[in-house]
């Protein structure tokens, strides 16, 4: 059985409000993990990171996220990166303060992965 | 409460203007992020997991109603409608936009507030007893000394770049409600032979290396409060480690060189500086600051029987009085605690509408003041006993009368991985799940004092080391797990909890905490024996068995 190939995405926070961004095709900034450019190529990873770090007018805190592979082939992220991708669990909904656009991407995550 | 003079006001006004320019330059690319980061942190602005977070200083937890209204306005106008009160008696906003922060600082300055020294390696917000000025067991109101220390440490040129952050807590009562044993400096005001002074406790703290403070002086006269504090800070500044962030707190220095040597160095420095102008706390200056904290215009005709109210036929009211209301030093008055641990809400969170309502209630019932507690609740300090029933009705409508202060469902939790960039695991959903699980037990049994504290990482913002039940989130290969520790205490019998065994999943922890509480109910002598007292009497094993099962007492940690 072949060893899973490591994949990477590049992420950062938007300078204006700190919201999570991902480096997407182009490269360009996209707001969701699903639209991020995922690469197994170390050279492309470094290019994306350099672009992200260079875009100082729009983003800050850029770094590379290691993406594993679940048994079903889906991307596997750490809990931290899952939360970054999904937004705070439960918190906003409980306060009934979630703006509709955020509610759509905010998971009500259980304490463990289901 | 303390009122800014023209110099105080100018400082915060100028600071807001400076930050407006710094933000403008950053947005235009004239400052790099590396250049900008220390500037924003000096104004309490962190970049967290999903957004910026602004931490606002609430000196010794004391807020005027006008300040609470301003916080409500900020939450409504610039954030997402709520704020989060912290274990350091501060408030945090979790969603400010960078471009709005200068305006927020200007709004804060307009009510004598700021976010200076809420981050960085400096002296942070001085914390104190939330019942200061009203507590029955108080020897001396600690707030004037807190204020003097605040003024002494704010922008102190020598202590702006300490090896690490530095936290001071002050209590003036026999019962320690300020957790002085887990602060870099803990002060307990005492009177010896008629003279007022303070004990100096040094080197306490939680985090990666939890240690209880050591008492290095039984009595420092108030005249020498600043010079002795300065001597401690100087020794720390000179000898504290700067090569390793994790070993840079004063507690590590005190532990490494030992209390006698630390005391010797401090005393040597103190002897050198004790009479320096500006460091001697003159009676005149003390009187000037004390004047801001004089007893309020209490109604001398106020009467009421708090004990009787605790037995009221309205059992909801009686239970609230019993758990959330405390005797006041003035006849006819009571101290009211507002629980921020209502069902289905994150611990410490308050909506803008609640803040506005709290401000109104404080004006109507509590002489216009609100106090933040390190247990993430609020206090209306000066309420007439005669007004309690009416106030209870108002608070109930606002969701602020949950009768659980100091009880099992009064769970302390840091923001955790839902917000915090440093966290390993979530705290808030776990706190809410624990609350939900324990609430029926709490309603069925008189559980007494039971402090549960949850931190999402080793930095211990949820003070898990001093929880009777402490829960620490850890990361295992990218997944969140939790260690459970027992036996911690944050009061005058301070103790650090000990880890019971292997880390558990969140669901296992919720089940486990329920079993721990059930085991306590089985073990206790009677309702008077608290969880902590029972634990100290019977030790780890019965609780370890409850948490992990019958064979757990020999299991490896």
According to the model, what pLDDT value does residue A114 have? Answer: 30
According to the model, what pLDDT value does residue A75 have? Answer: 84
Mutation choice for B interface testing from A13, A91, A96 by most B CBs within 10 A: A91
Tokens of B528: 């008077």
Of the candidates B290, B252, B117, B205, the residue with the CA atom closest to the CA atom of residue B496: B205
Structural class in CATH, domain B134-292: alpha beta
pLDDT beyond 70 at B442? yes
Cβ neighbour number for residue B533 with a 10 Å cutoff:
17
* pLDDT tens, position by position, B473-506: 999 988 899 999 999 999 999 999 999 999 999 9
Q: How confident is the model at residue A3 (pLDDT cuts 50, 70, 90)?
A: low
- Point out the residue among B51, B344, B349 whose CB comes nearest to the CB of A18: B51
- Point out the residue among A15, A78, A79 whose CB comes nearest to the CB of B98: A15
ipTM above 0.85, yes or no: yes
* Burial class of residue B11 (count of CB atoms within 10 Å of its CB; 0-12, 13-18, 19+): middle
Contact B184, B250 (CB under 8 A): yes
Least confident of A57-61, B310-314, B350-354, B455-459: B310-314
pLDDT beyond 70 at A105? no
* Mean pLDDT of all residues in B373-382: 97
User: What is the rounded radius of gyration, in angstroms, for the C-alpha atoms of chain B?
Assistant: 23
Q: Classify residue A3 by its DSSP letter.
A: P
Give the C-alpha separation, B351 to B81, whole Å.
Answer: 6
Q: How confident is the model at residue B116 (pLDDT cuts 50, 70, 90)?
A: very high
* pLDDT tens, position by position, B193-237: 999 999 999 999 999 999 999 999 999 999 999 999 999 999 999
* Residue that has been written with the tokens 């109210």 in this structure: B309
* Mean pLDDT of all residues in B107-127: 96
According to the model, what pLDDT value does residue B552 have? Answer: 55
* pLDDT tens, position by position, B18-60: 999 999 999 999 999 999 999 999 999 999 999 999 999 999 9
Give the C-alpha separation, A45 to A39, whole Å.
Answer: 7
pLDDT beyond 80 at B555? no
Q: At what angle do helices B540-548 and B506-523 cross, to 10 degrees?
A: 140
According to the model, what pLDDT value does residue A1 have? Answer: 53
For residue B409, what are the CA distances in angstroms to A96, A108, B341? 22, 22, 7
Tokens of B274: 């004790």
Q: Classify residue B75 by its DSSP letter.
A: H
According to the model, what pLDDT value does residue B557 have? Answer: 29
Q: Is the CB of B93 inside 8 Å of chain A's CB atoms?
A: no
pLDDT beyond 90 at A91? no
* Mean pLDDT of all residues in B357-361: 98
A&B contacts, CB < 8 Å: 105
The secondary structure of chain B in percent helix, strand, coil, rounded to multiples of 5, reads: 40, 20, 40
The domain locations on chain A are 7-77, 87-114
Q: Is B520 helix (H, G, I), strand (E, B) or coil?
A: helix
Beta-sheet pairing, B195-202 with B214-221: antiparallel
Give the C-alpha separation, B106 to B79, whole Å.
Answer: 15
Contact A111, B507 (CB under 8 A): yes
- Point out the residue among A16, A83, A87 whose CB comes nearest to the CB of B99: A16
Tokens of B124: 């942070």
* Residues 80-109, chain A, touching B (beta carbon < 8 A): 80-81, 83-84, 87-92, 94-95, 97, 99, 109
Nearest chain A residue (CA) to B51: A18
Q: Is B457 helix (H, G, I), strand (E, B) or coil?
A: coil
* pLDDT tens, position by position, B227-264: 999 999 999 999 999 999 999 999 999 999 999 999 99
* Percent above pLDDT 90 for chain B: 94
Of the candidates B228, B226, B222, B220, the residue with the CA atom closest to the CA atom of residue B279: B226
The secondary structure of chain A in percent helix, strand, coil, rounded to multiples of 5, reads: 30, 25, 45
Nearest chain B residue (CA) to A68: B478
Of the candidates B112, B167, B76, B97, the residue with the CA atom closest to the CA atom of residue B374: B167
pLDDT beyond 60 at A98? no
Q: How confident is the model at residue A70 (pLDDT cuts 50, 70, 90)?
A: confident
According to the model, what pLDDT value does residue B136 have? Answer: 96
The CATH code that applies to domain B6-109 is: 3.90.480.20
Mutation choice for B interface testing from A11, A12, A18, A108 by most B CBs within 10 A: A18
Quote the mean pLDDT of chain B. 95
* Mean pLDDT of all residues in A55-72: 92
According to the model, what pLDDT value does residue A4 have? Answer: 66
The CATH code that applies to domain B306-348+357-398 is: 3.90.480.20
**Contact flag B505-A109 (C-beta cutoff 8 Å):** no
For residue B354, what are the CA distances in angstroms to A24, B75, B81, B338, B357? 41, 11, 10, 11, 5
According to the model, what pLDDT value does residue B514 have? Answer: 97
The residues that bridge with B285 in the sheet, in sequence order, are none
Q: Is the CB of B475 inside 8 Å of chain A's CB atoms?
A: yes
Nearest chain A residue (CA) to B48: A18
pLDDT beyond 90 at B394? yes
* pLDDT tens, position by position, B286-325: 999 999 999 889 999 999 999 999 888 999 999 999 999 9
Same fold flag, B6-109 and B134-292: no
* Mean pLDDT of all residues in B338-343: 94
pLDDT beyond 90 at B343? no
Nearest chain B residue (CA) to A86: B50
According to the model, what pLDDT value does residue A73 have? Answer: 79
Contact B400, B358 (CB under 8 A): yes
* Mean pLDDT of all residues in B117-126: 95
* Cis before A27? omega within 30: yes
pLDDT beyond 50 at A108? no
Which helix (H) or strand (E) covers residue B54, if one does? strand B52-56
Superfamily per CATH, domain B412-554: Sulfite Reductase Hemoprotein, domain 1 (3.30.413.10)
Tokens of B126: 């001085």
The domain locations on chain B are 6-109, 134-292, 306-348+357-398, 412-554
pLDDT beyond 70 at A102? no
* Mean pLDDT of all residues in B169-176: 97
Task: Look up the pTM and report it.
Answer: 0.94
Give the angle B60-B61-B63 at the CA atoms, nearest 5°.
120
According to the model, what pLDDT value does residue A94 have? Answer: 42
Give the C-alpha separation, B171 to B489, whole Å.
Answer: 16
Contact B51, A17 (CB under 8 A): yes
Quote the mean pLDDT of chain A. 81
According to the model, what pLDDT value does residue B299 have? Answer: 95
Show Cβ contacts of residue B89 under 8 Å, excluding neighbours closer than 6 positions: B58, B60, B61, B125, B127, B128, B130, B372, B373, B374
Show Cβ contacts of residue A101 under 8 Å, excluding neighbours closer than 6 positions: none
Q: How confident is the model at residue A113 (pLDDT cuts 50, 70, 90)?
A: very low
* Mean pLDDT of all residues in B177-195: 97
Q: Which residues of chain B lie closer than 8 angstroms to A114, CB-CB?
A: none
């Amino acid at each position: 059985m072949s060893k899973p190939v490591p994949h990477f995405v590049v992420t950062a926070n938007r300078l204006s409000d700190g919201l999570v961004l991902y480096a997407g095709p182009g490269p360009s900034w996209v707001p969701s993990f699903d639209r991020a450019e995922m690469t197994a190529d170390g050279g492309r990873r470094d290019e994306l990171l350099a672009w992200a770090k260079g875009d100082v007018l729009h983003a800050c805190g850029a770094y590379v996220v290691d993406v594993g592979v679940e048994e079903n082939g889906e991307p596997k992220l750490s809990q931290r990166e899952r939360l970054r991708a999904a937004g705070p669990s439960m918190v906003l909904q409980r306060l009934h303060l979630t703006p509709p656009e955020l509610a759509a991407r905010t998971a009500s995550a259980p304490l463990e992965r289901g | 409460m303390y009122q800014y003079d023209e110099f105080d006001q100018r400082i915060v006004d100028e600071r807001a203007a400076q930050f407006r320019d710094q933000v403008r330059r950053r947005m235009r690319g004239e400052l790099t992020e590396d250049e900008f980061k220390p500037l924003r942190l000096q104004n309490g602005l962190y970049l967290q997991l999903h957004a910026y977070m602004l931490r606002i200083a609430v000196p010794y937890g004391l807020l005027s109603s006008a300040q609470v209204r301003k916080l409500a306005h900020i939450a409504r106008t610039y954030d997402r409608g709520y704020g989060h009160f912290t274990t350091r008696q501060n408030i945090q906003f979790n969603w400010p936009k960078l471009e709005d922060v200068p305006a927020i600082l200007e709004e804060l300055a307009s009510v004598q507030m700021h976010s200076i020294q809420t981050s960085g390696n400096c002296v942070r917000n001085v914390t104190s007893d939330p019942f200061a000025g009203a507590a029955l067991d108080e020897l001396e109101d600690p707030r004037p000394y807190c204020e003097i220390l605040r003024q002494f440490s704010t922008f102190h040129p020598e202590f702006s770049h300490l090896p690490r952050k530095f936290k001071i807590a002050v209590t003036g009562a026999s019962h320690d409600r300020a957790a002085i044993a887990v602060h870099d400096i803990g002060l307990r005001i005492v009177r010896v032979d008629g003279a007022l002074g303070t004990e100096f406790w040094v080197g306490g703290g939680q985090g990666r290396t939890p240690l209880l403070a050591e008492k290095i002086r039984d009595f420092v006269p108030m005249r020498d409060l600043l010079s002795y504090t300065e001597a401690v800070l100087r020794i720390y500044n000179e000898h504290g480690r700067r090569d390793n962030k994790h070993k840079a707190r004063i507690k590590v220095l005190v532990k490494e060189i030992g209390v006698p040597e630390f005391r010797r160095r401090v005393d040597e420095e103190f002897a050198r500086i004790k009479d320096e102008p500006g460091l001697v706390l003159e009676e005149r200056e003390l009187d000037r600051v004390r004047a801001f904290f004089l007893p309020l215009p209490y109604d001398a005709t106020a009467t009421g029987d708090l004990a009787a109210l605790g037995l009221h036929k309205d059992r909801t009211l009686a239970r609230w009085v019993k758990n959330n209301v405390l005797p006041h030093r003035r006849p006819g008055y009571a101290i009211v605690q507002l629980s921020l641990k209502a069902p289905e809400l994150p611990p410490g969170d308050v909506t803008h509408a609640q803040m506005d309502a709290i401000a109104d209630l404080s004006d109507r019932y509590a002489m216009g003041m609100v106090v933040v507690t390190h247990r993430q609740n609020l206090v209306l300090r000066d309420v007439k006993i005669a007004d309690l029933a009416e106030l209870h009705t108002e608070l109930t409508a606002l969701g602020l009368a949950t009768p659980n202060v100091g009880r099992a469902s009064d769970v302390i939790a840091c923001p955790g991985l839902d917000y915090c960039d440093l966290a390993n695991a979530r705290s808030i959903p776990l706190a809410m799940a624990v609350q939900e699980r324990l609430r029926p037990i709490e309603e069925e049994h008189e559980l007494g004092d039971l402090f549960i504290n949850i931190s999402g990482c080793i930095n211990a913002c949820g003070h898990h080391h001093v929880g009777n039940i402490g829960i620490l989130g850890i990361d295992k290969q990218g997944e969140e797990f939790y260690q459970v520790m027992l036996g911690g205490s944050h009061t005058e019998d301070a103790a650090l909890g000990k880890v019971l065994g292997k880390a558990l999943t969140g669901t296992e922890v919720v089940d486990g905490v329920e079993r721990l509480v059930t085991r306590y109910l089985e073990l206790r002598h009677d309702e008077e024996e608290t969880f902590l007292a029972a634990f100290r009497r019977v030790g780890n094993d019965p609780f370890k068995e409850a948490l992990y099962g019958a064979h757990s007492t020999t299991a490896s940690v």
